Structure 1
């Protein structure tokens, strides 16, 4: 082989090697981009719950002009002596500890993209055999966010025991409030609120549990809220995956939801069966929002992405049910363990065990 040919081959090989290294770099960078937000939301600054709010803040809010103000949770904004605080689940407010002034806040009304989607609504409805005169009632739409906890109780990972978190979810230099709101063990909501946009930009009901063991009924579990034999016990859970999945520059959220219904009393298998599951893609594309009639809202809006495509994203990134958010408990003596309700063997679903 001629010397010139060897030089050409070597040059081609080195170029391919550089391209390969660049491709590996790009792949690593893409993986990092896809996981940064997932890590961010698990490491947000935590606020105070009602019993832990500093006495100086409590006293100042009590004696404030137009007060007294009583917070269920509070969190300081970047060591500024200004606090976001939550009044039950009705509104988010701001309080300036230095001046003693309360800044009127924003009501927490349910996020429209969640409660108007027929697929999502169907997952959270009572079963088709449910009997009730108020047939228009919907547990997702007709109830506001709630914040009701039994002191000392441990359920759903105790996330609602500290309702307010604060930090930069997307690494865009804009910080958000992340709220965990719930009503005992019955239902739990994850809400992301943007102080800059002054609105909810994403919400997900990550748990709805309406079941109780009722010997003698047709099913092993019936609904706790309406204890009739034909009201089948229901458990619905959702996991969120944060990052960039579709290859563009805009942040994404993938939501994987599962609905379980009680097995019949005659069934030899105990517990529940998977009734339905869905995958949904949300994206915050400010460029598209700027060109829309509503303008820029900063919300994560539902996208017309096929479920098979979304499942492919999760598979390619080795994202299983247990890697979704939320997954780990914050309950005392159980920190870091899997939230038992969302990973219960009685669900009879192999997905929740991996």
Structure 2
């Protein structure tokens, strides 16, 4: 099971959210949606005939009732096939305004970052193979839709009709060694010169430049960490930059650790979102230490790729990151 923090599990897809609602611990299954295939092709055809639309993925939450995710990840739909109406209840998906992200990532990803979903050219852990799932994130008896859209994990509440939390869990801003060598050769960049990176930046708009690759990951942990009776989400982000070719240390060096604290408000009139809290990073780190929570125990952690199920996602725990945290 992937460990997202310590006691609540996403078991269907080898996902696990570990929650700390002391003194009890409990598990939660994350149910997968499905795409069109030979077995359910008639269902997709029925929806198309009734509503005039072609959903990319469906999740059946009751008899003849389905949540849908559009093919391009831009909208959630709600279909009731036994209803006489052919009007779709739906919600658009855009980037969440409270998303925890570094300014460096926004800058380098530019137009790519503005989109909520983009075709993944360098997936990690095969987490987005089935992007539409359902689970109860905070064990309050009300299920959310858990979406894996490209590089983003999105928690959408149909009850609230909005995204209540999201993170960008991987920053794929670096080329492979082979891609780097090809880029340098094509742009007359001399290997080994000062300022020439071991791994070229994949997100650089000026592809003729030698620019260090940017690589980042995020882990999240769920529980009542501040012990006020409300569910918290802690986010631990790491950002790395490629070493230069004249550096004998192979791989990357860490630019920064970033910590974020979110808490769900249950006050009257609240939106149901997990809202950012002004919590000192040192306090967040101490909360993780109190629970003996390491980088490897944060979610996501385990791969869903065929033949790698249950193993650590290689990219997020790579010795080339030269970071002791990723190996603990």
Equivalent in 125, 144, 153 of residue 157 of structure 1:
125
TM-score by length of 1: 0.76
- Going from structure 1 to structure 2, the CA distance change for 1:125 and 1:266 (only over 3 Å counts) comes to farther
Structure 2 contact 112–118 (Cα < 8 Å) conserved: no
CA distance in structure 1 between the partners assigned to 2:123 and 2:38 by the alignment = 20
Asked if 1:240 is matched to 2:220, the reply is yes
CA distance in structure 1 between the partners assigned to 2:222 and 2:69 by the alignment = 25
State the match for 1:197 in structure 2.
Answer: 160
The gaps in structure 1 that reach 5 residues or longer are 1-27, 131-136, 183-187
- Going from structure 1 to structure 2, the CA distance change for 1:262 and 1:211 (only over 3 Å counts) comes to same
Structure 1 contact 255–281 (Cα < 8 Å) conserved: yes
CA RMSD of aligned residues (A): 2.3
CA distance in structure 2 between the partners assigned to 1:165 and 1:29 by the alignment = 23
TM-score by length of 2: 0.82
CA deviation after TM superposition for structure 1 residue 92, in Å? 0.3
State the match for 2:97 in structure 1.
Answer: 112
CA deviation after TM superposition for structure 1 residue 272, in Å? 0.6
> What pairs up with 1:1-354 in 2 under 5 angstroms?
30-32=22-24, 36=26, 39-40=27-28, 43-51=29-37, 54-65=40-51, 67=52, 69-77=53-61, 79-87=62-70, 88-99=72-83, 101=86, 103-114=88-99, 120-126=101-107, 137=110, 139-140=112-113, 143-149=114-120, 155-182=123-150, 188-212=151-175, 213=177, 214-215=180-181, 216=191, 218-226=196-204, 227-287=207-267, 290=268, 295-354=269-328
CA deviation after TM superposition for structure 1 residue 54, in Å? 1.3
Structure 1 contact 75–85 (Cα < 8 Å) conserved: yes
CA distance in structure 2 between the partners assigned to 1:298 and 1:240 by the alignment = 18
Higher-RCO chain (CA-CA 8 Å, sequence separation at least 6): 2
CA deviation after TM superposition for structure 1 residue 174, in Å? 1.0
1:299-343 deviation line (CA, Å, top 9, x unaligned): 000101111111111011011111111111111111111111111
CA deviation after TM superposition for structure 1 residue 149, in Å? 5.0
CA deviation after TM superposition for structure 1 residue 231, in Å? 2.2
Structure 1 contact 222–228 (Cα < 8 Å) conserved: no
CA distance in structure 2 between the partners assigned to 1:51 and 1:350 by the alignment = 44
CA distance in structure 1 between the partners assigned to 2:164 and 2:229 by the alignment = 18
The gaps in structure 2 that reach 5 residues or longer are 1-19, 182-190
- Going from structure 1 to structure 2, the CA distance change for 1:334 and 1:51 (only over 3 Å counts) comes to farther
State the match for 1:6 in structure 2.
Answer: none
CA deviation after TM superposition for structure 1 residue 124, in Å? 1.3
CA distance in structure 1 between the partners assigned to 2:262 and 2:97 by the alignment = 13
Structure 2 contact 21–223 (Cα < 8 Å) conserved: no
CA deviation after TM superposition for structure 1 residue 99, in Å? 4.3
- Going from structure 1 to structure 2, the CA distance change for 1:53 and 1:284 (only over 3 Å counts) comes to farther
Q: Does the residue aligned with 1:156 lie in a helix, a strand or coil? A: coil
Structure 1 contact 244–250 (Cα < 8 Å) conserved: yes
Q: Which has the larger radius of gyration?
A: 1
1:10-59 deviation line (CA, Å, top 9, x unaligned): xxxxxxxxxxxxxxxxxx961535xx5xx53xx31111135577112111
Aligned residue pair count = 290
CA distance in structure 2 between the partners assigned to 1:31 and 1:138 by the alignment = 45
Q: Which moved more, 1:208-217 or 1:271-280?
A: 208-217
1:219-243 deviation line (CA, Å, top 9, x unaligned): 1011123334332101110000011
CA deviation after TM superposition for structure 1 residue 70, in Å? 1.6
Q: Does the residue aligned with 1:64 lie in a helix, a strand or coil? A: helix
